[in-house]
Amino acid sequence: MRVKVSYRGQTLELEFEGERVRVGELLKALGLSREYAFVVKGEDVLEEKDTIVDGESVRVINAISGGYI
Amino acid sequence: MRRCQRCGQKAVVYLPQHRLSLCKEHYIEWYLKRVESTIREFKMFGKDDRVLVAVSGGKDSLSLWDALCRLGYTADGLYIDLGIGEYSQRSRLACERFAKERELELYVLELRKEIATIPEIKEVESRPACSFCGQLKRYYMNRFAREKGYHVIATGHNLDDESATLLSNVLSWNMGYLSRQFPVLLEGDGFVRKVKPLVKFTEKENALYAFLSGIEYVEEECPFSEGASSIEYKKTLAQMEEKSPGTKLRFYMDFLRRLHPILQTQEVELRPCKVCGEPTTAEVCSVCRLKERVIPKLLSSSPSS
């Protein structure tokens, strides 16, 4: 299955096995932690256990930002 | 499905460190109340104070500006245009759009008119860009606020910024920085009061507030922050937080309550910089020293010279 992900101004297409993927797995595939990132579909913030099905588009918001300390 | 603990509707946010599930409306309400209580807890400012919010176009500073206005504070914005190509153009536009939509006052200070752009300085400086960029922002922010008669400068520093900085300062036992790490730096000797009303919010909580409030901000990172040390510290703290929710807040707040008061023994002697008159601990302030180094190099490398 494929999921279209809008992430920091880019559109990525990610492929997963099976017909659905959990939000937690999607974040993991992007190397992100739920501590600083979350997934939104339309107006909704998804929970970690929510699933995304083939062909759906989501937006991933990574809140981590950095600079020199 | 989680339910909002205030109204029973479907929750959109779960905050493990607070064991709290909230719907959109109650999350915004919770956020605003927490901003207000932080301002009061640290006696940051009151409703009569003129506040200047340092805005970068990112989630933290725009959420802060939005929250202060919703809470009824008098808050104008200052955007410092660093001249970092498309990144600065997009950030400036986000701030200008935000201010225009809400009919707020936004000042723009262009760094290229004061000294040079960050990429130009980087060409002739060996230090990491974030190091002199932060120094320049603090300098111009303070000078601007003082000249315009603002009582307070508010920045969008969050719990992740503060706990990562604390970890870094503890790892190197940087006592000078540790003694100055506090959400309020009082005014005096030419300095305007500086406050950080978002220190109790994680970056994710600020991003959630921005998203749920419909604030359009720039998600992309500054190109110069790639590989920044703070991101590594933040990721380390995130791992600890995942295993033990509340670690970051406890680490930071316990530092403020238990250790910070003990560190307040040394008085720093300030004097006016002999070049520009801004407060400094040295004869010439760090920005004037940077100008002395950078401007001749930039002039000699410019095509018209």
Kindly report the CA angle at A55 between A49 and A56, in degrees rounded to 5?
50
pLDDT in tens, B118-127: 999 999 998 8
Contacts of B240 in chain A (CB under 8 A): none
C-alpha B221/C-alpha B224 separation (Å) is: 8
DSSP category for residue B10? B
pLDDT in tens, B247-270: 999 999 999 999 999 998 767 789
Residue A15 at interface with chain B, using a CB cutoff of 8 Å: no
Contacts of A37 in chain B (CB under 8 A): 204
Mean pLDDT score, B203-220: 96
Mean pLDDT score, B101-115: 97
Residue A29 at interface with chain B, using a CB cutoff of 8 Å: no
- Here the ipTM equals 0.93
**Interface test mutation site (partner A, options B219, B229, B247, max chain A beta carbons within 10 A):** B219
pLDDT in tens, A9-44: 889 999 999 999 999 999 999 999 999 999 999 989
Mean pLDDT score, B126-154: 95
* B162 touches B178 (CB < 8 A): no
Residue A30 at interface with chain B, using a CB cutoff of 8 Å: no
**Are B225 and A67 in contact (CB < 8 Å)?**
yes
Contacts of B12 in chain A (CB under 8 A): 44-45
Token pair belonging to B3: 């339910």
Q: So what's the pLDDT on residue B229?
A: 82
Nearest to A63 among B169, B203, B239 (CB): B203
Q: So what's the pLDDT on residue B284?
A: 97
pLDDT in tens, B263-304: 987 677 899 999 999 999 999 999 999 999 999 988 887 765
Is the pLDDT assigned to residue B228 strictly greater than 80? no
Q: So what's the pLDDT on residue B24?
A: 95
Residue B235 at interface with chain A, using a CB cutoff of 8 Å: yes
Q: So what's the pLDDT on residue A68?
A: 55
Contacts of B203 in chain A (CB under 8 A): 36, 63-65
Closest residue by Cα to residue B56 from B35, B78, B74: B78
Q: So what's the pLDDT on residue B303?
A: 64
| A69 confidence band (pLDDT: 50, 70, 90) | very low
Token pair belonging to A56: 């759906």
E-only strand ranges, chain B: 13-15, 20-22, 50-55, 74-81, 106-110, 152-154, 184-185, 193-195, 271-272, 279-280
Residue B15 at interface with chain A, using a CB cutoff of 8 Å: no
Is the pLDDT assigned to residue B195 strictly greater than 90? yes
Is the pLDDT assigned to residue B71 strictly greater than 60? yes
Return the SS3 of B283: coil
Mean pLDDT score, B124-150: 94
Q: What is the mean pLDDT of chain B?
A: 94
Residue A49 at interface with chain B, using a CB cutoff of 8 Å: no
C-alpha B258/C-alpha B143 separation (Å) is: 33
**Are A67 and B235 in contact (CB < 8 Å)?**
no
Residue B2 at interface with chain A, using a CB cutoff of 8 Å: yes
Residue A60 at interface with chain B, using a CB cutoff of 8 Å: no
pTM of the model: 0.94
Nearest to A35 among B58, B164, B238 (CB): B238
Mean pLDDT score, B78-98: 97
Contacts of B131 in chain A (CB under 8 A): 68
Q: So what's the pLDDT on residue B221?
A: 86
Chain B, 100 to 129: residues with Cβ < 8 Å from chain A are 128-129
| A3 confidence band (pLDDT: 50, 70, 90) | very high
- Sheet with B152-154, strands from edge to edge, namely B106-110, B74-81, B50-55, B152-154, B193-195, B184-185
**Interface test mutation site (partner A, options B87, B125, B234, max chain A beta carbons within 10 A):** B234
C-alpha B79/C-alpha B110 separation (Å) is: 8
For residue B12, give how far its alpha carbon lies from the nearest alpha carbon of chain A (Å).
Answer: 6
